[in-house]
Amino acid sequence: MRFGWVCAGILVCFLLLVFRVGYLQLMENQQLAEQAAQRSIRTQVVPTNRAMITDRNDAPLAVSVSSKDIVLDPKHILDTNTDTRDERWQSMANVLQVPLSDIQHLIQSNARRRFVYLARKVEDGNADYIRKLHLTGVSTEQDFSRFYPMGQDAAGLIGIVGQDNQGLEGIELGFNSLLQGKSGLRVYQKDGSGAVISVIKRVDPVPPPNVTLSIDKFIQYVLFSKIRDSVLANQADSGCAVVVKVNTGEILGMASYPSFNPNNYGNTPAKNIHNVCSSDSFEPGSTIKPVVVMVGLDHNIIQPDTVLDTTPYRVNGHLIKDVGHWSKLTITGVLQKSSDIAVSHIALAMPASTLPAVYRSFGLGRPTTLGIGNESSGYLPTHRVRWADIERATFSFGYGLRVTPLQMAREYATIGSFGVYRPLSITKVTPPVVGQRIMPENVVKTVVHMMESDALPGGSGLSAAVPGYRLAIKTGTAEKIGPSGKYDGGYINYTAGVAPASNPQVALVVMVNNPKAGKHFGGSVAGPTFGKIMAQVLEHMNILPDAQPLKVMTAAKS
């Protein structure tokens, strides 16, 4: 009987066990499978290398270099009682230049986590050394680091990426979705010691296409070196320069200073990590005067041979005066001497809404939509209804609006194409580029010819002259509003123009912000920099001189 009870007990236990097994298999199998998967199955994103950025001649401006991330599994390290004081752990700490105590603290403070970054973007050689140490709970994952061959020369334009390879500034930010490509996926199963025992699913990454910019690497270098020298020599806050190809709207170079090292920008002040040309806006000062003269000619307010009274006068109680003293000036003289009085007379003779509309048609106060990240649109009061006469007057010589140097370059490229507006492009394009005529060709050609006087003796831009070439330029100086709300915050200096004037190929704008070395006029501060840049750009592009007849050499007959 006792044997029977024992057998019955065993049978009952067996039936209960079978019931439990059946219950788990039929009723809780999905939940148990999910728990098992959480313990052994891992999903890993397989990154693709970020697209290369090149200049118009395929020279690299930004490339992706293979690197590794060092990853910890704190829970596994603690569960296995791993001795992190071992000399191999000290070796890893030495390679990563991280105190071993910091690594131990990181493990302890994340005791229940299975994935913690110890180091990001470690060089492949160092990562391979760490992998060969065979440390428990330490693994490496593929990553990519960004390298910028031009360094600070193009940093403001090209921009930077963050730790997760997301664009933070410049082209890297504006073109981020195009540069990223599509990451892959790997689903794998690990055993108790962390080793991969099987790959369940794998999706290969899709690399993105390279991005070819309109930038010319040599011109970019020239712009940066010259604007850097100008800012330092004039003890200025900042400066920038932009070169645009007139017949396509392509930006051949865009440099700003202060700059930074994009390959190691950790300690760089945030104010230096941006593109002055597109992110900062200023009042344009006298650089706007050629457009005012064009509007006056187009509306028959003046004629090319008109002589204007330039005696100082008052508008709404405010005195309008020039830097120099002239009782009368021709229209050419108005541009050469940069007369505020003359252009204000022209502006007050036309409807108040005319100038804002024309400024906008030239691209002022409008973003360029280049996709270069963090671009300012400036300020242009096109919808303003009421204007005081003094506001109309000052608007004609560059006050009451704010533009970026990049927008100004678009304005002068339109002047260089004799009144045909073309959108700017930061990527390489194939000509011809169809534009929109916004000003009669004969009017613009007349003003371009007048602008040549500014680079001749007697003009404010003589320092910008390039021997052998005819330049159509305009210098400008705008006062800055200081903390008190008055124009006592220093000066903005410009020289802008096109060359060669007989058949403009390039437009160049140079801006120097708040020089403190003594000089503060556009012709004396920005003018010399303009001339140095333009001379090298014209030579590099093999543009023939147009200010003197060419001497053609012929071979002597034998």
| Domain boundaries of the chain, sorted by first residue | 44-104+115-212, 217-540
Supply the DSSP symbol for 490. Answer: -
Highest mean pLDDT: which of 181-185, 249-253, 273-277, 460-464?
A: 249-253
499 has which bridge partners? 506
Distance from C-alpha of 523 to C-alpha of 237, rounded to nearest angstrom: 18
In this structure, which topology does domain 44-104+115-212 adopt according to CATH? Penicillin-binding protein 2a (Domain 2) (3.90.1310)
Return the pLDDT at 36: 63
Higher pLDDT pick, 483 / 392: 392
SS3 390: helix
286 is annotated as an active-site residue: yes
Q: Which of 286, 417, 453, 524 is catalytic?
A: 286
Model pLDDT for residues 91-128, shown as the tens digit of each residue? 999 999 999 999 999 999 999 898 899 998 899 899 99
**Cα dihedral: 149, 155, 157, 162 (round 10):** 100
Mean pLDDT of 34-48: 69
Q: How confident is the model at residue 200 (pLDDT cuts 50, 70, 90)?
A: confident
- Total Cβ atoms within 10 A of residue 77: 23
pTM recorded for the entire structure: 0.84
Given a cut of 90, whether residue 354 has pLDDT beyond it is yes
* CATH class of the domain whose range is 217-540: alpha beta
Question: Which pairs with CB-CB distance under 8 Å and at least 24 residues apart come from 163-170?
Answer: 163/120, 163/121, 165/47, 165/50, 167/373, 168/273, 169/273, 169/274, 169/275, 169/373, 169/374, 170/275, 170/372, 170/373
If you average pLDDT over every residue of the chain, what do you get?
Answer: 90
Q: Which two tokens stand for residue 89?
A: 């752990």
Mean pLDDT of 428-441: 94
Distance CA 235, CA 514 (A): 8
What pLDDT does residue 388 have? 95
Rg (CA), the chain: 34
Share of the chain above pLDDT 90, in %: 66
468-519 per-position pLDDT tens digit: 999 999 999 999 888 887 887 899 999 999 999 999 999 999 999 999 998 8
Q: Read off the pLDDT of each residue in 417-443 and give the average, rounded to a whole number.
A: 95
Q: Place 385 in a pLDDT band, splitting at 50, 70 and 90.
A: confident
Burial of residue 505, with CB atoms counted within 10 A of its CB: 0-12 exposed, 13-18 middle, 19 or more buried: middle
Rounded-to-integer distance, Cα 459 and Cα 309, Å: 19
Rounded Cα distance, 84 and 77, in Å: 9
Q: Which amino acid is at 254?
A: M
pLDDT of residue 557: 46
Which pLDDT does position 371 carry in this prediction?
84
Q: What is the pLDDT of residue 192?
A: 62
- Which tokens belong to 429? 């394009």
Q: CB within 8 A of 101, min separation 6: which ones?
A: none
Q: Which residues contact 106 (CB under 8 A, 6 or more apart)?
A: 72, 74, 116, 118
What pLDDT score does 372 carry? 86
